[in-house]
Structure 1
Amino acid sequence: MPSTMPSHDAIILGAGAAGLMCAAVAGQRGKRVLLVDHADRPGKKILISGGGRCNFTNLHTAPDRFLSANPHFAKSALARYSPQDFLSLVERHGIGWHEKTLGQLFCDGSAKAIVEMLLGECERGGVALHLGHAASAIDHADGRFRVTLGGVVHDAPALVIATGGPSIPKMGATGFAYDLARRFGLKVVEPRPALVPLTLGGDDVLFRELSGVAADVVARTGKTAFREAALFTHRGLSGPAILQISSYWKHGTPVGIDFLPGRAQGWLREAKRAQPRSTLRRQLAEALPERLAVTLAERLGHADELSALTDRRLDEAERTLSAWSFTPNGTEGYAKAEVTAGGIATAELSSQTMQAKRVQGLYGVGEAVDVTGWLGGYNFQWAWASGVAAGQSL
């Protein structure tokens, strides 16, 4: 028979970004918190993020930079715990940081500093950490949750699901959060890989020969567009612009690429007047990597000098180059996805506290919930903000 430990005020499943933040906040409010993870170390995804320097937040955080079935859900938590709040915590711990492009904040040194900071905050709150054991049983009766770990039953009136999504399975990520939520009767928005490279097939396979070539582009799908770098890979398309657009992309729909963003209409006509003996390939090579310029010119079928091309054909080439259509045949899946879109339905949770509306004491935070941020620190900010919201409510 399993033995029973003294009860806790809250058991938090998952010692990632959201779980660590939630535990620290609740612990420092005087709650007796047990933080559990099946991994042998906390914060594994934090450690590999941002190339090992952890892109821990984004100064431009706003609710419209998050995807969710309910676009308003994230507003409350994000408003109550801002990037500046987390930055103040970072500075209080003496961690050096710097801003990169587009409001992204990184550690000057290793991401380990962020994990150590969060563990230090947990220690201040007297949080009990239980690592290296998966829960063998989770039960709920009489208003209490019982979690069996290594043959020992721990119980509490509150249980927080902070186990993330299945992205990056080599780090031990699984769909455990969704299975558990469904067991408690909560709806789950179908999860899918997000911030993930796209794969190409059919006629687009020829572009795989450009593997390693990158260019500044505008990538579009539907009404959504991002201007950042795109990278050709041996499987298809990647780079920040593509990762961003992947979260909005639906299977079977095209992705449009503007290879020359910012060019005024009629620029090829002007080039023809100024340099009639130039070619389309040469014009493209002035703005794009040579291999990409050659491939685009060949696909357009314009090898002649500009003077031999009519203005109409030049206009057509311009239009094609500004909206080159790729139809990806899929993504590289959870193995390469930075995050998971979908998750515990926001309709099931309070946006103020992250507590389930129909199950007293059950909470969902971070990536486990159907809130997915843009690339560049937004998902960490959601982890911190949702973790704080739950931690203040426990």
Structure 2
Amino acid sequence: MSNFDAIVLGAGAAGLMAAATAGQRGARVLVVDHNDEPGRKILISGGGRCNFTNIGTVPERFVSANPHFAKSALGRYTPADFLALIEKHGIAWHEKTLGQLFCDGSAKQIVAMLMDECLAGHVSFAFGQAVRDVAHGDGRFRVTVGSIVHEAPALVVATGGPSIPKLGATGFAYDLARRFGMKVVEPRPALVPLTLGQGEALFRELSGVSTEVVARAGPAAFREAALFTHRGLSGPAILQASSYWRHGEAVGIDFAPDAPAGWLRAAKRAQPRTTLKRLLPVPERLAVALVEQLGVAGDLGNVPDKALEAAEVRLGDWRFTPNGTEGYAKAEVTVGGISTAELSSRTMEAKKLPGLYAIGEAVDVTGWLGGYNFQWAWASGWAAAQAIAER
């Protein structure tokens, strides 16, 4: 049997952050992961360049049953804090749109940085070995990995959710939480393409067409690109909206987000011989499909005002009712997870079981597309590590 101050399950963004931080504060830490190498999800993120944070991070850009839960951790470990770590390691970076920060080089630099930070904290690793059992008694956790039992007074669950199973993702965190009497908010795929049924076959014929829209789902609206696919809808606007979409609900698309009220009637007065197809701010193939659906053909001067008003309303809130999503295989993250009601927002420690911590995607906190989920991983991992070091 080997003894540690903390055992971290999961060598992803949150787990490595927690291990490095606690290790550098003097804790003896073991990181366990069934994958052969750390940070597999980090390596594929951002097209291989890792969108490692977002300078616009605020709690309002996270989905959770408790919208206030993330405030403490996010407020105590900010994008500026992580950026300072990036620059300490000499990693060149750049800002893309909407506050998204990426490596100039490769996501491998982020994994290497985290591993270097872990090594500076004398963290131990057990990679490529599945956890056979987790037990608790007498204030200590016993984790069986292979034939070895590791013991520690603190256990950090950082195994994420089931999104992208080809990288080894599972629902292990939820099973473990339930085993220790913790509630789990029903998980579902998020930041994921939406699928359409046969009734929307016309739009599937537009596969590959992309246009800027405002996509609405539930209380949220996102202005970014939407992409038609052979299965339905994708693109940043749709991925964002998917986190708020629930089965059976419609998604509203504004195909003319800059158009003022009454724009079609005004165009009819100013240019009676123009057509709706020419006016639509979308690619031609999409314009043809929209006009066909609306039944507004020919010169605007020959179209009744009421028909133009109806077309304007529909173009501003075109309803699609997805029949599902492309599932965890294509989902970047998972909405839901270990209930925040079970955890301290300051330390990420379980209220009913001292020494048990849950961080990162395993928890019911899910960020928008664009680096927010990484920032939650860094912040929640850092928060747990502070508490562990102070035990």
TM range (shorter): over 0.9
- Residue 299 of structure 2 corresponds to 305
Residue in 1 that maps onto 2:330: 336
Cα deviation for residue 189 of structure 1 reads 0.5
Q: Which residue does the alignment assign to 1:218?
A: 214
Separation (CA, whole Å) in 2 of partners of 1:46 and 1:180? 24
1:214-255, CA deviations, whole angstroms, 9 ceiling, x for partnerless residues? 000001123311101000000000001000010001111111
What SS class does the counterpart of residue 210 from structure 1 fall into? coil
Matched, 1:362 2:342: no
Secondary structure of 2:334's aligned partner: strand
Q: Is residue 137 from structure 1 mapped to residue 99 from structure 2 by the alignment? A: no
Compute the TM-score of the two structures, normalised by the length of structure 1: 0.97
CA-CA distance at 1:205 after TM superposition: 2.2
Deviates more, 1:237-246 or 1:262-271: 262-271
Residues 1:66 and 2:71 are matched in the alignment: no
Query: Is 2:296–2:307's contact at 8 Å kept on the other side of the alignment?
Result: no
Alignment partner for residue 346 of structure 1, among 340, 343, 351? 340
Q: 1:318 is matched by which residue type in structure 2?
A: E
- The corresponding residue for 1:292 is 286
- Indicate the residue corresponding to 1:270 in structure 2: 266
Displacement, 1:261? 0.2
Q: What is aligned with 2:122?
A: 126
* Cα distance per residue 1:96-124 (max 9 Å; x no partner): 00000000000001000000000000000
1:380 counterpart letter in structure 2: F
CA–CA distance in structure 2, aligned partners of residues 121 and 129 of structure 1? 13
Aligned match of 2:38: 42
SS at 1:45 equivalent: helix
Tell whether the 8 Å contact from 2:204 to 2:229 is kept in structure 1 after alignment.
Answer: yes
Residues 189 and 327 in structure 2, CA contact (< 8 A), matched pair in contact too = yes
Structure 1 residues 312-352: Cα deviation after superposition (integer angstroms, max 9, x where no partner)? 21111111100101001111110000000100100100011
Quote the Cα distance in structure 1 between the aligned partners of 2:234 and 2:118.
Answer: 37
Secondary structure of the residue aligned to 1:292 is helix
Q: 1:192 aligns with which of 188, 205, 222?
A: 188
Q: Deviations over 1:52-96 (max 9, x none)?
A: 000000001001111111111100000000000000000010000
> How far off its partner does 1:275 sit?
2.2
1:385 equivalenced with 2:366 (yes/no):
no
Task: State whether residues 255 and 316 of structure 2, in contact with CA within 8 Å, keep that contact through their aligned partners in structure 1.
Answer: yes
Higher mean alpha-carbon deviation, 26-35 vs 263-272, is at: 263-272
Aligned partners of 1:262, 1:86: CA distance in 2, in Å?
36
- Please tell me the residue identity of whatever aligns with 2:379: A
Moved more, 118-127 or 313-322: 313-322
CA-CA distance at 1:158 after TM superposition = 0.6
Q: Distance in 1 between matches of 2:102 and 2:190?
A: 21
Aligned residue identity for 1:41: E
What SS class does the counterpart of residue 118 from structure 1 fall into? helix
CA RMSD, 1 decimal: 0.8
How far, CA to CA, are the matches of 1:185 and 1:314 in structure 2? 58
In the alignment, which of 77, 81, 90 is matched to residue 77 of structure 2?
Answer: 81
Whole-Å separation in 2 of the counterparts to 1:75 and 1:346 = 12
2:50 is the alignment partner of 1:54: yes
User: What is the deviation of 1:311?
Assistant: 1.6
Match among 108, 112, 117 for residue 112 of structure 1: 108
Q: Is the 8 A contact 2:162 2:169 kept in 1?
A: yes
Are residues 1:207 and 2:203 paired?
Answer: yes
Q: Structure 2 residue aligned with 1:254, among 250, 257, 272?
A: 250
Residue 150 of structure 1 deviates from its aligned partner by 1.7
Structure 1: gaps of 5 or more residues: none
2:170 paired residue among 146, 168, 174: 174
Structure 2 counterpart of 1:227:
223
Give, in angstroms, the shift of residue 202 of structure 1: 3.7
Query: Aligned AA for 2:367?
Result: G
CA distance in 2 between partners of 1:87 and 1:241 (Å): 26
- Is residue 2:142 matched to residue 1:146? yes
Residue 282 of structure 1 is aligned with which of 278, 282, 300?
278
Residue 365 of structure 2 corresponds to 371
Structure 1 residue 273: Cα displacement: 2.3
- Which residue is 1:21 aligned to? 17
Amino acid at match of 1:374: W
What percentage of residue pairs aligned between the two structures are identical?
Answer: 73
Q: Quick check: 219-228 or 162-171, which moved more?
A: 219-228
